[in-house]
């Protein structure tokens, strides 16, 4: 774990984000781990987004986590600015951490809010807005996200899936299986 808060300059953050645009997701993850900008960044992480959180040192990501495109990790809000303008009083920024367990898949365009802990063996559906902690073994979806299934049941269902959708299948086989299935 990164025990020091590693705040990054805007320039360094821009350079990291530019590098992310030109690399594959597995290489992006290795690059982010090497830069040591997250509180914790586990092994076998797949990082599809081009963006990194504004305060990556407040985000902890476990092992075998797959993050799809356009996922946002929100680590602060801007409400203090509204209050300051309205009342002419000083308000502090409000920050919070995001913690992701092991064996987690986060679907495209999901938003993970500050103060949230996502357990292990979890699936976050695409487009979900996670505002509360997610227990181990849950599948969550919606806005706000709620439990819609169980990780173990999905695992068993996928084990029994007999269609040819594997990465080593030819495109012709995948298309044939897809169009001839009753999915």
| Active site amino acids | 80
d(CA 39, CA 33): 10
| Of residues 179, 151, 152, the one with CA closest to residue 165 | 179
Q: For residue 144, is the peptide bond before it cis, meaning its omega torsion is within 30 degrees of 0?
A: yes
Interior angle at CA 66, CA 138 and CA 33, nearest 5: 130
CB 97 within 8 A of CB 60: yes
CA distance 102 to 111: 18
DSSP 49: -
């Amino acid at each position: 774990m990164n025990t020091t808060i590693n705040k990054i300059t805007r320039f360094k953050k821009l350079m990291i984000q530019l590098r992310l645009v030109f690399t594959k997701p597995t290489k992006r993850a290795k690059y982010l781990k090497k830069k040591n900008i997250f509180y914790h960044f586990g092994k076998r992480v797949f990082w599809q987004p081009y963006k990194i959180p504004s305060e990556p040192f407040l985000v902890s990501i476990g092992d075998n986590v797959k993050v799809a495109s356009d996922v946002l990790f929100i680590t602060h809000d801007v409400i203090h600015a509204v209050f300051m303008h309205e009342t002419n009083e000083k308000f502090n920024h409000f920050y919070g951490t995001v913690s992701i367990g092991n064996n987690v898949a986060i679907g495209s365009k999901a938003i993970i809010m500050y103060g949230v802990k996502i357990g292990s063996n979890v699936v976050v559906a695409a487009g979900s807005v996670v505002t509360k902690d997610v227990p181990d073994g849950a599948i969550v979806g919606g806005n706000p996200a709620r439990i819609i299934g169980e990780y173990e049941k999905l695992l068993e269902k996928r084990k029994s899936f007999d269609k040819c959708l594997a990465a080593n299948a030819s495109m012709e086989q995948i298309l044939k299986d897809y169009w001839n299935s009753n999915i």
